[in-house]
Amino acid sequence: MEERPSPPDRVARIQADWRRERPDLDVGPQAVIGRLHRLADRLTEELCLVYGRYGLSEGEFDVLATLRRAGAPFERAPGELAAHTMVTTGAMTKRIDRLERAGLVTRRRAEDDQRGRIVALTRPGRELIDAAFTEHMRNERRLLDLLTEAEAGSLETVLTTWLSRLDRPGPSDDG
């Protein structure tokens, strides 16, 4: 049985518009970048559904998960949390404030630096992130299972390669 081609998706329609309006430009990169952008948005929506079931935002889930994967005693300094979650310290403070009010983390002075603070998971915080992370992994499996095992493996290889090249410091980054 012959497979019918699927109708043009939103990205293909946008490209067609640009080709008509600006035939002098190569809009080919939109085929990949535009779809990756749309996919990232859709994946974020799907992931946030799980976080929301646990009363968490994406950022709060990230903080709790970072503390949990730190291992016992499940704590880090706020600056470490910011570095591990790639957000500013100001944004981290707001997340920690909310999680502390909810009884999911505590803050205390660092023993080796009285100006420093340590953020730690509470028992309810650990129980919540364990449950949320379990469902999160089931959800990610569901999303990835939309691809074959071979497709997922190939995609992982391509994305890993691309990201490493994008993250590699360029000539202007070292001085």
| Mean local confidence (pLDDT), 157-168 | 93
Q: Is 31:18 a contact under the CB 8 Å cutoff?
A: no
- The single residue listed with the structure tokens 């660092």 is 110
Q: Supply the pLDDT for residue 175.
A: 47
| Fold (CATH) for 30-144 | Arc Repressor Mutant, subunit A (1.10.10)
Q: Which pLDDT tens digit goes with each residue over 8-67?
A: 788 889 999 999 999 999 999 999 999 999 999 999 999 999 999 999 999 999 999 999
Q: Strand pairing partners for 118?
A: 108
Q: Is the pLDDT of residue 124 over 70?
A: yes
Q: Supply the pLDDT for residue 56.
A: 96
Residue 70: helix, strand or coil by DSSP?
A: coil
Q: Is 151:159 a contact under the CB 8 Å cutoff?
A: no
**The pair of three-digit structure tokens given for residue 152, joined into one six-digit string:** 């997922």
Q: Quote the mean pLDDT of the chain.
A: 90
What is residue 25's DSSP assignment?
Answer: S
Cα–Cα distance for residue pair 92/59, rounded to 1 Å: 9
Q: pLDDT band at residue 113, thresholds of 50, 70 and 90?
A: low
Cis omega (within 30 of 0) for bond into 73: yes
Q: pLDDT band at residue 73, thresholds of 50, 70 and 90?
A: very high
- Alpha-carbon dihedral 160, 165, 166, 169, rounded to 10 degrees: 130
Q: Strand pairing partners for 105?
A: 121
| Mean local confidence (pLDDT), 65-77 | 94
Give burial (CB, 10 Å; 0-12/13-18/19+) of 129. Answer: buried
